[in-house]
Amino acid sequence: MDNVNKIIIEVRAGAGGDEASIFAGNLVGMYQKYSQKKGWKFIELDSNQTTLGGYKTFIGSVSGQSVYDTLKHESGVHRVQRIPKTEKSGRVHTSTASVAILPYVEPQVFDINPSDLDISFFRSSGPGGQNVNKVETAVRILHKPTGVVVASQTERSQSANKESALSVLRSKLFEAMQQQQASSLGALRKEQIGSMERSEKIRTYNFPEDRITDHRFNAKVHNIEKILNGELDILFDKMKKSA
């Protein structure tokens, strides 16, 4: 899979309420800025944005040279420790957000039976849920056998949104199939564990001490703001040396 030059990225706010959504937004911004520095194409496919500028959920695609190989270790639970802007007593809060990096799966590689799909259309919405489009161009797809639901609302046409949603669905179903096969064989490789186990806290962003710790590689770096501003190679280089 190291040759994959397109991925689906999914960021979800976890425990921590508004602060978790803001942190999820920080992570999305970090990956977007890092993609710009790498010359990759970063596209939003679907999101549930909050009024505070964060995300409850964000799904996008990233394409470019060695995208999957570079970002595959980002899957897992990211934890932040900081004083939220809404905190008046100055107390440090701990919040989480999960990241999933899924290889883009071509239609000919993984076929989905059209009769297994329940497709509906709706108007795309902005922060707070208000409709921003008078035409129902956004697409929601339910995969009936598994209950997996995906959506796309950033393209201008129903057909384009449908294709985007199907690409997300293919990646999710393909990953689930691989996980099931690996589990049944009892042969989960370490890199699969890192990408599959969503409950695993892989990294902590400690703002009071200005330190990021990647727990899998025991790699520690400082200058959180610089890394959140897209300078991820500082951390990745340290992870490689610690591997």
Give the amino acid at 29.
G
Residues 23 and 96 reside in one and the same domain: yes
Residues 75 and 194 reside in one and the same domain: yes
Residues 31 and 85 reside in one and the same domain: yes
Secondary structure letter of residue 24 according to DSSP:
H
Residues 47 and 84 reside in one and the same domain: yes
Instruction: Give the number of other CB atoms < 10 A from CB of residue 182.
Output: 15
Q: Which domain holds residue 141?
A: 114-185
Q: What is the pLDDT along the chain (243 residues), one digit of tens a residue?
A: 444 589 999 999 998 888 999 999 999 999 999 999 999 999 999 888 887 889 999 999 999 999 999 999 999 999 999 998 777 788 899 999 999 999 888 877 788 899 999 999 888 765 544 444 556 788 999 999 999 999 998 887 888 899 899 999 999 888 888 777 666 544 433 443 343 344 468 999 999 999 999 999 999 999 999 999 999 999 999 999 887
The pLDDT assigned to 136 comes to 76
The pLDDT assigned to 125 comes to 65
The pLDDT assigned to 183 comes to 64
Give the amino acid at 101.
I
The pLDDT assigned to 96 comes to 92
Predicted structure pTM score: 0.79
Distance CA 236, CA 229 (A): 14
Residues 125 and 232 reside in one and the same domain: no
Q: The tokens of 102 are what?
A: 């899924």
Nearest to 76 by CA among 177, 165, 190: 190
